A and B are shown apart, each in its own frame.
Chain A
Amino acid sequence: MNPGFFTRTYCVPHPRLDVRWIAAVHLALLRVFELIRADGFDLINASEDDITFRLEDAFENRLMHDDGGDFDLNFVRSVTRESATANHDESSIGRKPDLVFRLKRELCQTHNRVQDSLFAECKPVGREHPLNEHYCAVGKKTSGIERFVCGAYASAMEQALMIAYVRDGFQITHHLADTLVIPKTRVGLGQPTALSCVIEATSKNGQGLYLTTHQRLFSWDDGRPATPIDLYHSWHNC
């Protein structure tokens, strides 16, 4: 797409976010989950959509609105649920990441502002939602990580977020780490690096923030292969 007076296409990849930005979003997620729990919302039995709906509502109408609080979300422009976005070559313009954190960045107009966000995919994780069927699925409609690897989401970015609604005592350091080393999963999910801890867990309801880096399986418009993507994993016990 042509950005206007400029005759070249938009620049990719977009400037990287400092890890503190992603850590701040992770901390905000912990706060939002606390709010939802305090409301008495039944996280144990709620569907993925119900929880994501609650997250969006709590972000937009409470955490971002109450700027008299002790956690200033001034750096977030908006949080939207399932807002349509285009994939890497715009052959599909109806891709819907579960949550899109639009951030206030001093971005040049040579970058596509529509594609400049922290895109997040939310997945339930537990016995009813095995990792290899959902979060780490390959070639399935229910896939999670794969959407970032194939360029469905966040194609212009080099960082994105996976949010897990965790049940049945699943552990990121055990279950996710084990699933990511399964050969078929490794190939389908862009040869992920080993899970590394970015922020350790500080509460019993969150499991900290972890990072994996994945090769991507598509090329940008100018023919260059897309650079790897850092996926930050933010797991929340439900």
Chain B
Amino acid sequence: MTPVREDELTQRSEFRLDYKSAYQVTSKSVIEFPWLCKALAIGSTLDVEVMQKLCRAATKQSIGSFWQANKLASGNGFSLKRKGKKIPPEWLKVLPVFDEEDGQLGFSKILSQTFGKRYPSRLIESPRSEELYSAPLLIIPESLSGDIGDPAGYLIKNRKVCFSKSFFGYSAHGHRASTLVASLLATIVHSAVFRHFCYMRSSRVGASRRTIYKLDIDAFPFPEIETLTKDQRKEAMRLANMLDASDEKNWKALDAFVGGLFGLTKAEQQVVSDTVTFNGPYAVVREQAMRTVPTEEADAFVHTLEQAIQPFFRAVGQKVKASLVPRLEGDWRQPWAFVTLLLDGDSWTPSEKLIASLIGKASDSAASRLVMPLPEGGLIIGLLNKRRFWTRSRARLCALHIAEEYLERCFPLPARK
């Protein structure tokens, strides 16, 4: 069980157990998928399915196995511990030292001092291998920023650059398609899918420090270069160049490309997007998740719910209609919002008195969702009026719940001719 943090409740030393916060898991499944409990804590069963798909893809080839099989260098940068006893090698002294401020200017604009100038008389613990710093090279910060727009990696295309152990380096130097390999990796680490994977898998992010291990990066799937189409290769290069440019980034195109590489459906990509947007372990994410749901998001929820439940009706010659119940008049933040689900042709609008009564009862119960069958058929669904409960992924989960629990009770089958 994982209570979702809601600041207004925690200030009163209370918490709510959302209906999607409690799961049964077997010891066998936890052993098989060590990330399972964390995935369920941050996301839902839909996130687990995405993870299982990514892990299956990684069994074919992961970033780690690709780098190892091709004998490419990867690892933390140089270590500058105070008790270091090694004299830095000459090749390291002449390399510019990467720092993130340079990266912010654009990945190709490294202006830093050389190692020799920055640390003139410093002994080091380990310089790492020279190959690690060879271009093309992706430098990935171990800290995972809460801002999706922040760089998650820095692509160094054509010069050697050294970096400290606060970064992981993945050099594609020596590979026959080195630029493509580095571009692909740069594109991947900037994607919502990669961020989602880290949220689910990393033992640190969302648990202690917001940093990732190299093991987390290595475990992520990597496409088979030989099977990429010409268009996919071109797109990977274009997206990597987009990351390097100062223009506004098209994150949707990047996410769709990476999701497509690993066969994620649009619905699965939506799960990734919803979790990253509303469930990330950052205050900025939590705050926007707790805001009142805007009308367009509520409409999207209603549309997705109707679309996801429709096959169960269409299959028996019926049609179902989902509608958002208008909010009660008045200048107040209505704590709950409601959706009706009725057979096409039926009509019913709840009275303001009923809605007010439902809000009172629902608030007393500390629930985050209520589903109430209507006497004449159909049902009314109430959800806490907070954005995190109105995502399209939640709409799909809600549709599945209704399909399991309420079809027979609320929607009689049509009489056969």
- Interfacial residues, chain A to chain B (CB-CB below 8 A): 3-6, 18-21, 23-24, 26-28, 64-65, 67-68, 71-75, 77, 104-106, 108-110, 197, 199-200
Contact with A along B301-327 (1 / 0, CB 8 A): 000000110111111110000000000
A67:B49 contact, CB within 8 angstroms: no
Nearest-CB residue, chain B, relative to A15: B404
The reply to whether B307 and A199 form a contact with Cβ atoms under 8 Å apart is no
Min CB gap B254→A, angstroms:
19
Q: In the complex, what's the smallest C-beta–C-beta distance from B37 to chain A, in angstroms?
A: 13
Contact A20 to B26, CB < 8 A, known contacts A72-B311, A199-B316: no
Give me the 7 closest cross-chain CB pairs, A-B, nearest first: A4-B26, A23-B315, A4-B27, A109-B24, A20-B312, A27-B315, A24-B315
Interface residues in B, total, Cβ within 8 A: 33
The answer to whether B417 touches A200, judged by C-beta atoms less than 8 angstroms apart, is yes
Q: Does B396 contact A (CB under 8 A)?
A: yes
Q: Is B118 engaged at the interface, CB distance under 8 Å to the other chain?
A: no
Chain B residues engaging chain A, CB cutoff 8 angstroms = 24-29, 45, 49, 263, 265-267, 307-308, 310-317, 396, 399-401, 403-404, 407-408, 413, 416-417
| A20→B417 contact, CB < 8 A | no
A20 neighbours in B (Cβ, 8 Å)? 312-313, 315-316, 403, 407, 413
Q: Which residues of B contact A200 (CB under 8 A)?
A: 416-417
* Residue of B whose beta carbon sits closest to that of A2: B28
Q: Is B408 touching A5 in the complex (CB atoms < 8 A)?
A: no
Tell me whether B316 and A106 are in contact (CB under 8 A). no
Are A75 and B26 in touch, CB under 8 angstroms?
A: no
Q: Which residues of B contact A73 (CB under 8 A)?
A: 311
| A-B CB contact pairs (8 Å), 24 listed | A4-B26, A5-B26, A18-B312, A18-B404, A20-B312, A20-B313, A20-B315, A20-B403, A23-B312, A24-B315, A28-B311, A65-B263, A65-B265, A67-B265, A67-B267, A71-B310, A71-B311, A74-B308, A75-B308, A105-B404, A106-B404, A109-B25, A109-B26, A200-B416
Give which listed residue, A27, A67, A105, A197, contacts B266 with CB less than 8 A: A67
The answer on a CB contact under 8 Å between A108 and B24 is yes
Q: Which residues of B contact A24 (CB under 8 A)?
A: 311-312, 314-315
Complex contacts, A65 vs chain B, CB 8 Å: 263, 265
Q: Measured between alpha carbons, how far is A19 from B396 in the docked complex, in Å?
A: 20
CB distance from B395 to the nearest CB of A (A): 10
A18–B311 touching, CB < 8 Å: no
Q: Is the CB of B417 within 8 A of A75?
A: no
Q: When chains A and B are docked, how far (Å) is the Cα of A34 from the Cα of B386? A: 42
Contact A77 B400 (CB under 8 A): no
* Count of inter-chain pairs, beta carbons less than 8 A: 82
20 additional contacts (CB under 8 A) given A4-B28, A110-B24: A3-B26, A4-B26, A6-B26, A18-B407, A18-B408, A20-B313, A20-B403, A23-B315, A23-B316, A24-B312, A26-B315, A27-B315, A67-B266, A71-B311, A72-B311, A75-B312, A75-B400, A104-B45, A106-B400, A108-B24
C-alpha spacing A52/B407, complex, angstroms: 30
Interface class of chain B by DSSP = helix
How far is it, in angstroms, between the C-alpha of A106 and the C-alpha of B26 when the chains are bound? 15
- A-side contacts of B417, CB under 8 Å: 200
Q: Which residues of A contact B313 (CB under 8 A)?
A: 20
Per a CB cutoff under 8 Å, which of A68, A104, A105, A199 touches B315?
A199
B231 → chain A, closest Cβ, in Å?
18
Partner of B267, one of A26, A74, A108: A74
* Chain A residues with CB under 8 A of B307: 72
| Nearest B residue (CB) for A197 | B416
A18 adjacent to B403 (CB under 8 Å): yes
| Beta-carbon contact of B27 and A27 below 8 Å | no
Give chain B residues whose Cβ lies under 8 Å from the Cβ of A64: 265
Report the minimum CB–CB distance from B258 to chain A (whole Å): 16
> What residues on B are CB-neighbors of A71 within 8 Å?
310-311, 314
Chain B residues, Cβ within 8 Å of A67: 265-267
Contact A74 to B400, CB < 8 A, known contacts A19-B413, A64-B265, A109-B24: yes
Closest residue of A by beta carbon distance from B417: A200
Please name all residues of chain A whose beta carbon is closer than 8 Å to the beta carbon of B45 when the two chains form the complex: 104
Least Cβ distance of B125 to chain A in Å? 44
Partner of A68, one of B263, B266, B404: B266
A79 nearest CB across to chain B (Å):
13
Q: Which residues of B are found within 8 Å of A106, using beta-carbon distances?
A: 400-401, 404
Task: Indicate the member of A6, A65, A110 with the most B CB atoms within 10 Å.
Answer: A65
How far, in Å, is A163 (CB) from chain B's closest CB? 16
Q: What residues of chain B lie closer than 8 Å to A4, measured between beta carbons?
A: 26-29
Bound Cα distance from A145 to B404, whole angstroms: 27
CB closest residue in chain A, given B411? A20
Is A21 in contact with B312, judged by CB distance below 8 angstroms? yes
On chain B, the residues within 8 Å of A74 by CB distance are: 267, 308, 396, 399-400
Could you say which residues of chain A place their CB within 8 Å of the CB of B315? 20, 23-24, 26-27, 199
Residue of A nearest to B406 (CB): A18
Chain B residues with CB below 8 A from A77, complex form: 49
Q: Choose among A24, A68, A74 the residue with the greatest number of B CB atoms under 10 Å from its CB.
A: A74
Chain B nearest CB, measured from A209 CB (Å): 9
